[in-house]
Structure 1
């Protein structure tokens, strides 16, 4: 009897510990939680925007983690609740396939920036204005970025859609390597064709132009959008409100990108922007009870 009683007591204690542990896990996603994880892709635009939003949340007392991920993994992480949100979704074209795959498991908060664009970009001194005009420029090579990027997929489609690009190559690398190659080519007045997007600091630093896309492979105007994990609104309502209210302009974004490109640490650039744009930050945080 004593052994049975001890056994039952042990089971009861064990069950109690398990429930306590589960309760502790739930509290980590409760409204009292101060931990926030924002995912982003390591593009210049998203480095800037994510650091700014992260800084705003940090100033509100949150313990913010910014997690750089491959594009597809970023979408998956938020859809699975492994990250709380992202402000880095380009729609309707660049991230269209990821959106269709993961949208049912995400909360969509709408655009945070309008007027974005992707396409093939060349220095203005090059005597070509349309993708259809390309012949032998830049040794039949387009300098691209990461293999998993939406613009990479669009460029691969362009190589199939445009007959004059049948024997062209797409050189994938990284966004940093692409801008380094662009800068070097411009310094030497050489031909170069890159996968480009705006907003981006390169348009403020160099005289560039998009090539016309008569087949519409790269789509028209895009927006950058915000998505969060399911349940964030209930678990962390103030974080949800800030992400829902976050909206700014290309000029705002490019000003930070230029500072980062010139060598300023992204976190310091974000801090300075938040300090110098208190009126805009106040709009993002206006619904939070102080």
Structure 2
């Protein structure tokens, strides 16, 4: 047998083997097309959106994540620029955004229940209610530490400022990261601080914190995080629609991923892949039935 003929046989064997592996093994990322998910960069939504990305990419989709403001997130799905989001806090936090796009999006219902928003203080702070803030403004340096100005939590905070006549305070814009950094510094120095907060969030696992009571019920009660998709997704990408429709987990699940994401050098996507790998029974419930 000549050397050239031997090489042709070897090459054919390699190509056939590769083809068989491709048919028998999991789909390569991107084989099934592209999926666009949009989200706000809150630690909770970073965790959930990356978990969904990991699941869909394991199925063979190329998933692109786009972090934006809350208003842009809702508009992105309503316009069809994004396929969906798993970051809708309802009925209070994002309720006004939903009203603006009603009829232009599809609400697939809650993917997580038992959430809450409000103002949070370290447990060593001796007041228990928002109504007590004015009398203790100096201890808080007259500041309420907020997050990004477009967040629903911030619009509720602005209403709370007026409802409780907090003229001695200023609501400070920032981000989730700057808020937790300020909280960490205050706790380290045992100073009084009030921040805009939500559950689930990793800060409750790291520090002893409490919500200030809200007698005027500005922030509402328990909330749910919903999945919202664009119109037409069920027809265009039925498998993606199925996963998004069945994606459900618990505050404990989310908190686990969020805590991993606070570790030095953490990769939210790698941590999402880790969670998916370690929770096959939960993930299986989100997947379309095998044909």
Taking structure 1 as the reference length, the TM-score comes to 0.87
Give the alignment of 1:205-284 within 5 angstroms: 205-263=206-264, 264-284=266-286
Give the alignment of 1:147-162 within 5 angstroms: 147-162=149-164
| Aligned-residue offset at 1:104 | 1.1
- Does the residue aligned with 1:273 lie in a helix, a strand or coil? helix
2:90 corresponding residue in structure 1? 91
| Aligned-residue offset at 1:103 | 2.3
| Aligned-residue offset at 1:288 | 3.7
| 1-structure distance, mates of 2:217, 2:141 | 24
Structure 1 or 2: larger helix share? 1
Are residue 109 (structure 1) and residue 111 (structure 2) matched?
Answer: no
| 1-structure distance, mates of 2:100, 2:226 | 16
Are residue 38 (structure 1) and residue 37 (structure 2) matched?
Answer: yes
Instruction: Specify which of 132, 140, 147 is matched with residue 145 of structure 1.
Output: 147
Stretches of 4+ aligned residues off by more than 2 angstroms: 287-290
Taking structure 2 as the reference length, the TM-score comes to 0.87
| Aligned-residue offset at 1:47 | 0.3
| Aligned-residue offset at 1:140 | 1.6
Is this contact kept in 1: 2:32–2:62, CA < 8 A?
Answer: no
Per-residue deviation, residues 201-230 of structure 1 (Å, max 9, x unmatched):
000000000000000000110000000000
| Aligned-residue offset at 1:167 | 2.7
- Does the residue aligned with 1:117 lie in a helix, a strand or coil? strand
Is this contact kept in 2: 1:87–1:226, CA < 8 A?
Answer: yes
1:199 corresponding residue in structure 2? 200
* C-alpha RMSD of matched pairs (Å): 1.0
Per-residue deviation, residues 96-153 of structure 1 (Å, max 9, x unmatched):
1101001210011000000000000000000110001112231121000000000100
Is this contact kept in 2: 1:241–1:288, CA < 8 A?
Answer: no
1:125 corresponding residue in structure 2? 124
| Aligned-residue offset at 1:289 | 3.2
Give the alignment of 1:54-93 within 5 angstroms: 54-93=53-92
Per-residue deviation, residues 211-266 of structure 1 (Å, max 9, x unmatched):
00000000110000000000000000000000000000000000000000113200
